[in-house]
Structure 1
Amino acid sequence: MKQAFDYIVVGGGSAGCVLANRLSACGRYTVCLVEAGPPDSNPWIHLPIGYGKTMFHKTLNWGFYTDPDPGMNGRRIYWPRGRTLGGSSSINGLIYIRGQKADYDDWARQGNAGWGWDDCLPYFRKLETNDLGPGPTRGVDGPLHATSIKTRHPLVDAFIDAARAHGVPLRQDFNTGEQEGVGYYQLTTHRGLRRSTAVAYLRPARKRRNLTVLTGRHVLAVVLRDRRACGVRVRAPDGAVQELAARHEVLLSAGALNSPQLLQLSGIGPAGLLGELGIPVRADLPGVGENLQDHLQIRLIYRVSRPITTNDDLRTLGGKARLALQWLLYRGGALAIGINQGALFARALDASDRPDIQFHFGTLSADMAGGDVHPFSGCTYSVCQLRPESRGHVRLRSADPMQPPSIQPRYLSTELDRRMAIAGVRYARRIADTEPMRPLMAAEFRPGREVESDEGILDFCRERGATIFHPSGTAKMGPDGDPMAVVDSRLRVRGVDRLRVVDCSVMPTLVSGNTNVPVVMIAERAADMILEDARGRT
């Protein structure tokens, strides 16, 4: 095995697979992709509904837990993260969403030149093949597929009609930059199979001789010499530790939890924290691990008056056989879709000038996302605040790189976030009480109609709320004058040469929606920047 490469990419997830493909495409540079988990060979990864099997998988999932969160009645909350090629794109809910135009324009207004909507749109178009066809905002020949749900479901149709009765417009494409509307989601699937970045980007690049992919290797730290990244220390499956050298750059794409942990382990982070743990400070960057943001998911569960839900299909052998035949014969049905089909972006607060909540409407119900379905016909209204104000952190517990970090989301720690949680629940109830949804809703199972006051609803949110799997912002991008900025607008770590972060960590503020497609865009844009800088050096 080669010990030196031009580029080392740490993390074979949503961003890392993109970088591995794009940086190796010209054949001029050698690239090493290092992934802690195994190859993406487990069949449950590739079947869209299979994320119920990977959600708690001991090998394919990091299985993080937060610290006890005071805003959530002191609960520790399970945070799944992908630990396989494709990363979280191999285990997520497959929702294809970019966010709102204003999200990216806000990034630019915060001092991040080149990250406005108009700057990012060409990369969104570059990455996608959209089955809605050509359009001013759509791509038609990219690696990642945006696939529309062809088979309509009566529950989802009723959900859409109920929202329209409240003045929400019908929308076919939620990715034009203007999001407000209701309809069916598009998914990161193709021909009935999950289209992870490992499939879309890495698989076609694996035959290149200048690309080396190492799985089962846990990166322990970035190797620094004279404030320059020159490689990584890696633990192999047999426990042996080796050093891989990077001639050009080290690129951290390990995600919003692991990337700040690696920076801190390498002596890059808040000096006070590193000093407490006996880690020599190589670059005092107080923002590393701070600014943690996530979408808090509030799930209302209803009993359905007719046996038309995915619960009903999954409870019997006959139902499971029908689902299997639909997939085998037509690559369709629930197995090809996953869980959530109905999309709704709306304004829960009258003062909002753009959508402030998002619904994932699912035709099944369970005690938690990915859990066993209930023994009754059920559906789920999952609602989240799109732009939370609450900020948490990711910090080392010890200098041991094999120990998970301390994760504190600090959910519902601001007045606005608490108001939004209550407003989201009330909005969901309005939809459930509206024709044609009303006759299909036999009863509100959770929280139950006895929970009516603002205080009662907020306590329900604290007791039952959970992540919707979008941690971001822990190595945020920002201008020189921002003391908490970790990377500049070219994603270079401040105070350290030849080291970048390319993943959800760099988002200064969370996008309005699911984060997978925005991360692919960030990696596409970063790849161009890296190659431009390489040409400048030569």
Structure 2
Amino acid sequence: MRNTALHPKQHAAEHDFIIIGSGAGGGPLAANLARNGFRVLVLEAGGWDEPEVAQVPAFHPHASEHPDLSWEFFVKHYANPNQPDSKWDNTRNGIFYPRAATVGGCTLHNAMITICGPSGDWDEIAQITKDNSWSGERMRSYFERLEHCDYLHKSFFEKLWNKIRYILGIAPRPSRGRHGYHGWLHTAVADPKLGMKDEQLAGEILSALLATLIDQGTGAIATIESFIMDLFGDKVMSRFDPNDWETMKRRPEGVMLVPIAVRNGQRNSPRDYLLQVQNEYPERLTIWTETLVTEIIFDRESGEAGEPTAIGVRFLRGKHLYKAHPEPSSIAGTSGEVYCRGEVILCGGAYNTPQLLKLSGIGPKTELENLQIKVRVDLPGVGANLQDRYEIAVISEVEKDFVLLKNLAMGEPAPGQPPDAALKEWRENKTGLYTSNAVIVGILKKSRPELPAPDLFIFAVPGFFKGYYKGYSEDRANPDLASKHNLLTWLVMKAHTKNRAGTVTLRSTDPGDVPEINFHYFYEGTDRDKDEDLDALVEGFNFIRKINRIAKERGAVKGEIWPRPDDNQDEATIRDFIMREAWGHHASCSCPIGADGDPMAVLDSRFRVRGVRNLRVVDASVFPRIPGIFIVTNVYMISEKASDVIAEDNRI
């Protein structure tokens, strides 16, 4: 570590770094720092639980509601209490927003979709901070470092040439698509030929291709034709890979394969990387589970002269101490303190990181004073700028049951019942239908031609899904639909949303309390004057209906069941439906990186919390604007970057 004066309580510290949270940000960061020779302590509020539903890729909805993993947040979309939403829970005064508390965090229940996102997202951070290390060109190297691509392979010539470069002492040449082949996160794609075995699924894929062809014009014929040929060939061409660097520059729109974090048929996540590194370096990487951090400890009290330095944390140890757990403990945990010689790094995510900062006296002065919290640093941006995607569903009934789903439960069997055929195959061989996340086709699309990158991701899954509500994974709110195998949900997800009006505010000074979360959708948000987000969702909604019209003309679709067409024919009614029923699940941006002169910037370009020393944030809250398509890959990339930055600033 750098030779700096230590507080007396730091002299006996066993760890260089304390990392709070083991998810997409904290997990890779802890593993990387330990591999670099540092002693790292990870504090995780959840346990070691990894039930089978978290391992089977197709069971990810069940993982998000599993009591051993789940933290149940209930959020608001509007301040207006009269704004209706069919997902609203009257007993919890909000809309269900699943999060995970376990080693690995939300990467143990997400849909595993691993898409790198456009380079321009990183260029924007570079421009804001005037720090060129954030440029898209340079950030891509972190994706190459973390990925272990299992669905595309380097050619013999590429391997030979890189061996020659190695002998000559020259760094390996990046692959054409700038994939990584030696990282900790394995990526795969579902076998596209699998869908061709099901007449209904094949019909939907064909309808999506035809709709894309109509949307893009006749110039896309050769591309579509190539895709169809590839389905029956021996390889999936890089032109349909959303993570291919060259493809995304040349042709960022169209039908895409959907890469997922799966290794040998099983979910792959930072948890696997953490456990691997802990096994390799047990003396360097320590993980405490069921440890709820309650406050950051500084070297001086609020009001004392000088810039405060983070030296440790206070915590409570015990099961289910946080009130987001489905069955929170009524027993107070055991309190304690732990110190480090280096830095405290917050990786709790977009809700818990601003909560902990505020509880430690860092945040908007008025909010803290109202709760009688001593103000250590007045940072008004903490808990502001909260952002998310918008998503909306169109659900149809197809003419026949999906053959691939016949006699499948799509979940764990009830106690005493045998597994279905697909689960039996997965348990024995880690092969078959359950090795996929169930996404059958994806489409990247611009809502307006002049946009620099696609802002809509449109994809299809078998079954009924209209958003998150308690019991959604079992369709307990729709029992008549739970056993049907002829339903198809098309989803449109709006990336690069313009609304930045969301907030995370404290309800109380109780660290176990869940904060008040309000995203202030649409007319309450910062996009209310232009309605760009709403316009884009209408465009995506109508595109899905175009796909369904083609499928219906071919006799593949009976008709919509959500929403009913007769209720949503005119645009005004569609817009109202979207404002009522949209949801999101990529909360981010609540502790943003920003320019030095920006009063709302919480962090500098090196992840450091402004106004204090030895305190950083590395999680989804750091982005000034919501990036990419599926945010988890971007979080992995900042975790890799932070590993370099922190190691550089704390050379051993």
Q: Does 1:488 align with 2:592?
A: no
Query: In the aligned structure 1, how far is the partner of 2:97 from the partner of 2:339?
Result: 32
Any residues of structure 2 matched to 1:457-476 within 5 Å, and which? 457-467=574-584, 469-476=585-592
SS of the equivalent of 1:361 reads: strand
Q: 2:292 aligns with which of 218, 221, 225?
A: 218
Indicate if the aligned counterparts of 2:392 and 2:466 stay in contact, CA closer than 8 A: no
Q: 1:384 aligns with which of 490, 493, 510?
A: 493
Indicate if the aligned counterparts of 1:14 and 1:86 stay in contact, CA closer than 8 A: yes
| Corresponding residue for residue 84 of structure 2 | 73
- Note the C-alpha offset of 1:327: 2.4
Any residues of structure 2 matched to 1:62-461 within 5 Å, and which? 62-67=71-76, 69-70=78-79, 73=84, 75=88, 76-111=94-129, 113=131, 114-131=133-150, 132-134=152-154, 135-136=175-176, 137-150=178-191, 151-154=193-196, 155=201, 157-166=205-214, 167=216, 171-177=239-245, 178=248, 179-208=252-281, 209-226=283-300, 227-237=308-318, 239-308=333-402, 312-314=406-408, 321-328=420-427, 330-368=429-467, 370-372=472-474, 374=481, 375-376=483-484, 377-391=486-500, 392-413=502-523, 414=528, 415-434=531-550, 438-450=554-566, 451-461=568-578
Per-residue CA distance 1:332-375 (angstroms, 9 max, x = gap): 33311123232111022344342121113112224545523534
Q: 1:36 aligns with which of 45, 58, 71?
A: 45
Per-residue CA distance 1:483-518 (angstroms, 9 max, x = gap): 111111100001110000001111111113101111
Per-residue CA distance 1:59-91 (angstroms, 9 max, x = gap): 412111113524753742211112111111111
Q: CA RMSD in A?
A: 2.3
Say which is worse superposed, 269-278 or 167-176, in terms of deviation.
167-176
For structure 2, list consecutive stretches of 5 or more residues without a partner in the other structure. 1-11, 89-93, 155-174, 225-238, 301-307, 319-331, 476-480
Does the C-alpha gap of structure 1 residues 38 and 292 become closer, same or farther in structure 2, counting only changes over 3 Å? same
Does the C-alpha gap of structure 1 residues 44 and 371 become closer, same or farther in structure 2, counting only changes over 3 Å? closer
For structure 1, list consecutive stretches of 5 or more residues without a partner in the other structure. none
| Corresponding residue for residue 24 of structure 2 | 14
Say which is worse superposed, 263-272 or 352-361, in terms of deviation.
352-361
Indicate if the aligned counterparts of 2:409 and 2:420 stay in contact, CA closer than 8 A: no
Letter in 2 for 1:338: N
Per-residue CA distance 1:411-467 (angstroms, 9 max, x = gap): 223311221222221111112223598532211111121111122112222332222
- Note the C-alpha offset of 1:303: 0.5
Say which is worse superposed, 245-254 or 38-47, in terms of deviation.
38-47
Indicate if the aligned counterparts of 1:228 and 1:496 stay in contact, CA closer than 8 A: yes
Query: In the aligned structure 1, how far is the partner of 2:632 from the partner of 2:130?
Result: 21
- Note the C-alpha offset of 1:288: 0.6
Query: In the aligned structure 2, how far is the partner of 1:257 from the partner of 1:338?
Result: 26
- Note the C-alpha offset of 1:330: 5.0
Q: Does 1:516 align with 2:516?
A: no
Letter in 1 for 2:124: D
- Note the C-alpha offset of 1:314: 3.4
Letter in 2 for 1:187: I
SS of the equivalent of 1:528 reads: helix
Determine which structure has more spread, i.e. the larger CA radius of gyration.
2
- Note the C-alpha offset of 1:293: 0.8
Indicate if the aligned counterparts of 1:158 and 1:436 stay in contact, CA closer than 8 A: no
- Note the C-alpha offset of 1:103: 1.4
Indicate if the aligned counterparts of 2:278 and 2:286 stay in contact, CA closer than 8 A: no
Query: In the aligned structure 1, how far is the partner of 2:428 from the partner of 2:619?
Result: 38
Indicate if the aligned counterparts of 1:192 and 1:331 stay in contact, CA closer than 8 A: yes
- Note the C-alpha offset of 1:141: 0.5
Indicate if the aligned counterparts of 1:162 and 1:437 stay in contact, CA closer than 8 A: no
Query: In the aligned structure 1, how far is the partner of 2:551 from the partner of 2:138?
Result: 42
- Across the two proteins, how many residue pairs are aligned to each other? 533
Query: In the aligned structure 2, how far is the partner of 1:478 from the partner of 1:357?
Result: 26
Letter in 2 for 1:218: L
Does the C-alpha gap of structure 1 residues 483 and 64 become closer, same or farther in structure 2, counting only changes over 3 Å? same
SS of the equivalent of 1:410 reads: coil
Query: In the aligned structure 1, how far is the partner of 2:427 from the partner of 2:182?
Result: 27
Does the C-alpha gap of structure 1 residues 313 and 337 become closer, same or farther in structure 2, counting only changes over 3 Å? farther
Q: Structure 1 length as normaliser, TM-score?
A: 0.93
Letter in 1 for 2:194: R
Indicate if the aligned counterparts of 2:242 and 2:257 stay in contact, CA closer than 8 A: no
Query: In the aligned structure 2, how far is the partner of 1:115 from the partner of 1:381?
Result: 34
Indicate if the aligned counterparts of 2:408 and 2:420 stay in contact, CA closer than 8 A: no
Query: In the aligned structure 1, how far is the partner of 2:105 from the partner of 2:185?
Result: 15
Query: In the aligned structure 1, how far is the partner of 2:384 from the partner of 2:581?
Result: 25
Does the C-alpha gap of structure 1 residues 491 and 230 become closer, same or farther in structure 2, counting only changes over 3 Å? same
Identity fraction in percent: 31
Indicate if the aligned counterparts of 1:311 and 1:364 stay in contact, CA closer than 8 A: no
